[in-house]
Amino acid sequence: YSTIVHSNNVIDITYFISDKSSAPIQIPSENSGIVTDVLKKIDIPNVNLVYKTLPFKRLLLTLEKSTTPWITYGSAKWDDPRKLNLSATPFMTVEHVLMTTPETPYKSVASILDKGLVLIRGFHYPGLIEFVNKMPEKVFYVKTHEAAIQMVLKGRVAGFVGMKSRLNYQLKKLKIDRESIVFHHFSDIIPNYDVNLSFSSNFPKTQRDSIENQLYQLQQTGQLEVILQKYK
């Protein structure tokens, strides 16, 4: 594989950022987000981190084809290249919720699907997919959280399933009255799971070891929790 090495032995490593739907894990417009903030806290020896923002689907294709080392975030639960080389220490545990309006009772996934469900195109919903496959005609796909939230508020669908952290962030950003929506516990369908840093298979070992050690230290000293609280 090709690695760009500068004259002073500094390696270029690409940090891949998803352009729209990953906030607050990554917020490219503000050069922030949980992963970005974690990486800013980590001193990676002899590395020049090159930020690259791409649309989500193109990002996944680029990861597969890239010959140069990269870093982003991933989970063992996702079926894409980001699940393969994960950090030993997760930086967060995600919880999924079902968002409805107060008028919509949540009795079962089938009862919600019957009235229509909106999901984000290209995202993974481990545990929910078997229900979706039974009634695909009842599932609508959109590109952004804002579009999904508006579909629920306008009554075009009964519910939207999403990461609680992402939904909280988007509702705050859109200044939506929390009385107008309800979060339903959903971890019996999509169990909580960890999200980690994700490395390319050719990521240099010395630098990865350094990142792993520092990430563990951030967790142990409570600095990771400080970053997470900022986006709650």
User: Please, what is the end-to-end C-alpha distance for the chain in angstroms?
Assistant: 40
Residue predicted with more confidence, 124 or 213: 213
Helices (H), 140-221: 145-153, 164-173, 205-220
Identify which of 220, 229, 194, 207 has the alpha carbon closest to the alpha carbon of residue 91.
194
Residue type, 59: L
Question: Residues 171-213: pLDDT tens digits?
Answer: 999 999 999 999 999 999 999 999 999 999 999 999 999 999 9
pTM above 0.85, yes or no: yes
Question: Residues 144-180: pLDDT tens digits?
Answer: 999 999 999 999 999 999 999 999 999 999 999 999 9
pLDDT above 60 for 225: yes
> Exposure of 138 by Cβ count < 10 A (0-12 exposed, 13-18 middle, 19+ buried)?
middle
Distance CA 83, CA 195 (A): 10
